[in-house]
Structure 1
């Protein structure tokens, strides 16, 4: 289990132990775990249930810092604690959040203020004074997008809660076809559950790969391969158009970068001499992908030189850091990456 996954698990374990803190700040790219964290916090802060007198909910851009503060400072009515939940804090201007600075210094002991921020598509400036004060005052947990190695255990656990058993080829196919976003994986499991249906009253149903392939389209993989094909062809303009479509569809630049990096890591591994003549099943097993997709990776392995792949993978590390910390727009960072991969084509046409 990665440190990312362990931090998330530790948050939920600590919450069960108590006591409830006056302020929580949960943020990050993994939206499913963020939503689960908010629900768990509400349940812990109000075990007797919530009511209209003691629960205020604010939503993103429409929220006022003064209104949030006023709600947090109110005394509870016929309950020991008030709950104030602020969702999508990343959409609130820092000038509005500044109204909460004094509250962060001296929070009400009878209020639990929960601040939630989804930062996959919009970052929050952690250097600002109000965010520094928030992090100092609150119990903080960042729910980062998990590594692919963390996902099979998550899928198996969630499938078991639905009375389904997934084989390793099935979990790998779902990672390849859907990605690592837990909310999307949950939707995929729901589709599979409905498709498979009850089986003669069995309490645990084995789900086969052909059933999953029937109901779960590999849209994510095809979109990524459209992009990597364009990069492999040194077709800068085509790669830009695909990137723009992905960004418009709500995909974050960081996730696009991770998809490209994963793709080229697999391509590089397939250049191992021991795998060049391996059959599809053996090659797929060696690099950890579904046999359904391995031919596409093999095709790209024949396109790139070993030195080129090593250079691309080094650059991907720099891009990852830039997307997390650089003031440059994410689109510009990706455009520069694509230009570097496609440089020979750009040079020949320039």
Structure 2
């Protein structure tokens, strides 16, 4: 179940009696936990909300929390974090205790509302408790957001920092940060850190711009992309592939690299077109709004490419980007083919 659907159930108070959320997106789990606590606010939470550390509790405490009747309310709320019976390693609970807890859950009173929240993966293959919850209640995996939810999440994150993020800049940021790469370890927590950093730099009440994103997010990637363009321009396939491997090893994003390569080759194409009009170096720099270092680098690299090869490379980047996002090709294979083909154009 997607987090948006789950939160809608919270809003409508249509939750199942027993629920489990788990996964790698800790911020989303926190959001669900906060929504669960909010449900209890109108029902004397000091008496009717029980918070349990699943690594420290025992069977008696957990059963007591579930079976105790609510006080002056129709519901008692029980939140259990990181319960060990949902994980592979166990210290305090044996199979007998697990079977007893399952029996309690199967006969749980209608007055109880239980949420198990596991910050990470759970043992879906061997945990009998997991299988019981899956059968009796609702299980939601907090994993990577899809494109639309990710876009909405990032936009709201910028708005919370009182920074306006227009669509084009937001898409640029998302592509560059590398979250959408299937094999990427980047989480929403990482995105939040980057968004907070960019917003602190821009300032409240300002508008997100690509220059700020580049300045704060792409320094190391930028250097490697410039070097890669150099290697492509000099037909040094081996060195270009080596630079690509270095970028991946240091946590670089393939889709983010594609986005930056496309941007830089588009700028090289524009520089060549403006040079044909006999504009001066300073006039071209001012027209394109580039920093002097970037303008110097791109102007130098433009000498290694003709217009036809640049357009072909830009089209290849777009085609491979689409193939990756559609699941038609692995991101690494696409990147390696792109580099080899670009070096031979």
**Structure 2 CA distance for partners of 1:15 and 1:305, relative to 1, 3 Å:** same
Deviation at 1:101, TM superposition (A): 0.6
| Equivalent of residue 82 in structure 1, options 76, 85, 89 | 76
2:45 aligned with 1:50: yes
Q: Distance in 2 between matches of 1:49 and 1:222?
A: 57
**SS, match of residue 86 in structure 1:** strand
Q: Distance in 1 between matches of 2:78 and 2:339?
A: 55
Deviation at 1:221, TM superposition (A): 10
Q: TM-score if structure 2 supplies the norm length?
A: 0.58
Gaps of at least 5 residues in structure 1 are: 200-204, 224-228, 247-255, 290-295, 307-350
Q: Distance in 1 between matches of 2:108 and 2:308?
A: 60
**Structure 2 CA distance for partners of 1:282 and 1:164, relative to 1, 3 Å:** farther
Residue pairs, 1:116-265, within 5 angstroms? 116-119=117-120, 122-148=121-147, 150-167=149-166, 168-177=168-177, 179=179, 181-199=187-205, 205-216=206-217
**Structure 2 CA distance for partners of 1:127 and 1:206, relative to 1, 3 Å:** same
Q: Distance in 2 between matches of 1:87 and 1:12?
A: 18
2:45 aligned with 1:39: no
Q: Distance in 2 between matches of 1:28 and 1:151?
A: 16
Q: Deviations over 1:102-149 (max 9, x none)?
A: 121111322221101233xx4413454322211122233222222456
Deviation at 1:16, TM superposition (A): 1.4
Residue pairs, 1:96-107, within 5 angstroms? 97-107=98-108
Q: TM-score if structure 1 supplies the norm length?
A: 0.58
**SS, match of residue 213 in structure 2:** helix
Relative to structure 2, which stretch is displaced further, 211-220 or 184-193? 211-220
**SS, match of residue 11 in structure 1:** helix
**SS, match of residue 61 in structure 1:** coil
**SS, match of residue 83 in structure 1:** strand
| Equivalent of residue 16 in structure 2, options 18, 21, 39 | 21
**SS, match of residue 277 in structure 1:** helix
Q: Does the Cα contact within 8 Å between 1:23 and 1:139 map onto a contact in 2?
A: yes
Deviation at 1:36, TM superposition (A): 0.9
Q: Which residue of 1 aligns with 2:310?
A: 277
Q: Does the Cα contact within 8 Å between 2:50 and 2:77 map onto a contact in 1?
A: yes
| Cα-Cα RMSD | 4.7
**Structure 2 CA distance for partners of 1:218 and 1:41, relative to 1, 3 Å:** farther
**Structure 2 CA distance for partners of 1:102 and 1:220, relative to 1, 3 Å:** farther
Deviation at 1:185, TM superposition (A): 1.8
Q: Distance in 2 between matches of 1:222 and 1:33?
A: 33
Q: Distance in 1 between matches of 2:35 and 2:314?
A: 42
Q: Which residue of 2 aligns with 1:71?
A: 65
**SS, match of residue 207 in structure 1:** coil
Q: Deviations over 1:2-25 (max 9, x none)?
A: xx7xx3222222221224432111
**Structure 2 CA distance for partners of 1:221 and 1:82, relative to 1, 3 Å:** farther
**Structure 2 CA distance for partners of 1:33 and 1:220, relative to 1, 3 Å:** farther
Q: Distance in 2 between matches of 1:164 and 1:282?
A: 33
